[in-house]
């Protein structure tokens, strides 16, 4: 009998311990399988906000001159020439970010020194100098954290100076300010929370300007018109105001 009791006591204690732990084990089963706590995404860069900046670079121009003698061969011009030079300016804008996508409005003003001439192709020398231009544009983009790919297009206004030099009849020089349009695109990178670097290509079309005369221009040339377009490549640095880093899920 004593041996039997010695074996019964440990078994009874083990059964009691099992009964005590059963409620908590059952609660765990009722709660379902174990799930890890969600991991928060790394903070993403917020492109929204107002910014100011500077930019500089180079440009190339193409100029088609037409007068009463008509196009040369199968071309759409009487004479053609190119121009090149540098530019520098300031910009300002505002971005609105919606998830990964961005909408913006930007304006800029730049001083240009993009010059070229036709090297007396028609007997007199025609030269064009783009001296300044400003734009107001819309922007659309796709953001990948601190990188932004964007496109832009809008209204442009520029001042060109034209000089016609005739070795016999002298120089005829005049300014023309023309509205036109511009479009392009580029990439931006957030160097820090507020400083943003930018690389951009832009195309400008200012239509044509005319030099009329009755029957000749002031220095004895046939009346003519010139269509001008420009391409620029610039790098810039913007400062964005405010806009803390936010978590994106």
User: Would you say residue 21 lies in a domain?
Assistant: no
Distance CA 53, CA 196 (A): 9
CATH number of the domain enclosing 58: 2.40.160
Q: What is the pLDDT of residue 131?
A: 98
User: Would you say residue 41 lies in a domain?
Assistant: no
- Work out the average pLDDT over 6-10: 46
User: Would you say residue 138 lies in a domain?
Assistant: yes
Distance CA 125, CA 123 (A): 7
Q: What is the pLDDT of residue 197?
A: 98
User: Would you say residue 42 lies in a domain?
Assistant: no
Distance CA 127, CA 83 (A): 9
User: Would you say residue 210 lies in a domain?
Assistant: yes
Q: What is the pLDDT of residue 151?
A: 98
Q: Domain of 157?
A: 50-244
The one-character DSSP state at 72 is S
Give tens-digit pLDDT for 79-136: 999 999 999 999 999 999 999 999 999 999 999 999 999 999 999 999 999 999 999 9
Dihedral, CA of residue 188, residue 190, residue 195 and residue 198, to nearest 10: -10
User: Would you say residue 117 lies in a domain?
Assistant: yes
Q: What is the pLDDT of residue 152?
A: 98
User: Would you say residue 75 lies in a domain?
Assistant: yes
Give the chain's domain count: 1
User: Would you say residue 173 lies in a domain?
Assistant: yes
Give tens-digit pLDDT for 153-173: 999 999 999 999 999 999 999
Q: Are 87 and 114 in contact (CB under 8 A)?
A: yes
């Amino acid at each position: 009998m004593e041996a039997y009791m010695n074996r019964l006591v440990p078994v009874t204690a083990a059964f009691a311990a099992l009964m005590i732990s059963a409620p908590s084990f059952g609660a765990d089963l009722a709660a379902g399988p174990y799930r890890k706590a969600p991991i928060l995404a790394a903070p993403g860069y917020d492109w929204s906000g107002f910014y100011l900046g500077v930019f500089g670079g180079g440009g190339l121009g193409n100029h088609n001159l037409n007068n009463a003698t008509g196009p040369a061969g199968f071309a759409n011009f009487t004479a053609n020439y190119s121009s090149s030079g540098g530019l520098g300016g300031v910009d300002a804008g505002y971005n609105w970010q919606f998830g990964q996508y961005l909408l913006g409005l930007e304006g800029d003003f730049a001083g240009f020194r993009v010059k070229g001439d036709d090297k007396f192709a028609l007997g007199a020398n025609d030269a064009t100098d783009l001296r300044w231009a400003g734009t107001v544009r819309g922007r659309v983009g796709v953001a990948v954290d601190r990188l932004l790919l964007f496109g832009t297009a809008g209204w442009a206004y520029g001042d060109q100076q034209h000089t016609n030099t005739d070795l016999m009849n002298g120089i005829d020089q005049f300014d023309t300010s023309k509205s036109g349009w511009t479009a392009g695109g580029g990439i931006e990178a957030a160097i820090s929370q507020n400083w943003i670097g930018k690389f951009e290509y832009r195309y400008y079309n200012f239509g044509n300007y005319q030099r009329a005369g009755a029957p000749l221009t002031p220095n004895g040339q046939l009346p003519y018109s010139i269509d001008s377009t420009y391409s620029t490549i610039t790098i810039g640095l913007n400062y964005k105001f405010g806009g803390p880093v936010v978590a994106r899920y």
